[in-house]
């Protein structure tokens, strides 16, 4: 009985350390993968023959590494080279470019790129969320609110839109729509079950 408590403590400590090692190991592998991709894509970019897809991939890696100005430059080049690409590819590139600009607090230009992404793909929830957030930052809460509501109509389970919409409603003092399953109205943007 006297040995049970120290053994349980030791076993708990080993489990905790093993869990921490797994989390740290996954993070190290993810960073190494990004570093290898960054080196490979930068080397390929030096030749000047990068396609829009490769430039987008390079910009995405730079965004994950928080190299926003470099990412914006590569994504602008990708957007120029993507003119013959499908509309969905153009939308993804324009959205990423808008994100890179918004991360640098250049919301006005980011809004232009988000709108361009939405012209290519009108029902693109990620671009709608990003545009709504940029509009919030530009002090246009009414337009942001309507965009968040549109996202919830497209994807009722979108946590980002729901959270931002609730935040906007709290700031404005508008009563919140109930979120409990028993209180949901059919057709409500908060209704996640159909």
pLDDT tens digits, residue range 59-85? 888 888 888 888 898 899 888 888 888
pLDDT for the residue 72? 92
Please tell me the distance from the alpha carbon of residue 151 to that of residue 162, in angstroms, as a whole number.
9
Burial (CB count within 10 angstroms: exposed 0-12, middle 13-18, buried 19+), residue 40: middle
Query: What residues does each domain of the chain span?
Result: 50-121, 123-174+190-194
pLDDT for the residue 178? 45
pLDDT for the residue 62? 86
pTM attached to this predicted model: 0.70
CB distance 184 to 152 below 8 Å: no
pLDDT for the residue 113? 93
pLDDT tens digits, residue range 145-168? 989 899 999 888 889 888 988 888
| Residues lower than pLDDT 50 in the chain | 176-194
pLDDT for the residue 193? 35
Please tell me the distance from the alpha carbon of residue 137 to that of residue 181, in angstroms, as a whole number.
32
Two domains, one topology: 50-121 and 123-174+190-194: yes
Contacts of 132 (CB under 8 A, 6+ apart): 143, 144, 145, 147, 148, 151, 161, 164
For the 50-121 domain, the top CATH level (class) is mainly alpha
pLDDT for the residue 179? 43
Assigned fold of 123-174+190-194: 1.25.40
């Amino acid at each position: 009985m006297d040995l049970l408590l120290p053994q349980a403590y030791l076993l708990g400590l080993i489990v905790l350390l093993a869990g921490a090692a797994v989390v740290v190991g996954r993070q190290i592998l993810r960073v190494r993968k990004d570093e290898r991709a960054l080196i490979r894509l930068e080397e390929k970019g030096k030749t000047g023959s990068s396609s829009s897809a490769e430039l987008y991939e390079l910009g995405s890696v730079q965004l994950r590494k928080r190299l926003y100005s470099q990412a914006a430059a590569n994504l602008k080049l990708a957007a120029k080279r993507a003119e013959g690409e499908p509309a969905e590819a153009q939308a993804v590139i324009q959205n990423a470019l808008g994100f890179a600009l918004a991360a640098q607090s250049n919301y006005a230009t980011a809004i232009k790129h988000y709108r361009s992404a939405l012209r290519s793909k009108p029902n693109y929830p990620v671009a709608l969320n990003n545009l709504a957030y940029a509009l919030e930052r530009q002090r246009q809460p009414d337009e942001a609110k309507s965009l968040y509501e549109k996202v919830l109509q497209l994807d009722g389970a979108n946590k980002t839109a729901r959270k931002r919409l609730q935040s906007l409603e709290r700031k404005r003092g508008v009563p919140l729509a109930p979120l409990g399953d028993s209180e949901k109205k059919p057709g409500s943007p908060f209704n996640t079950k159909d």
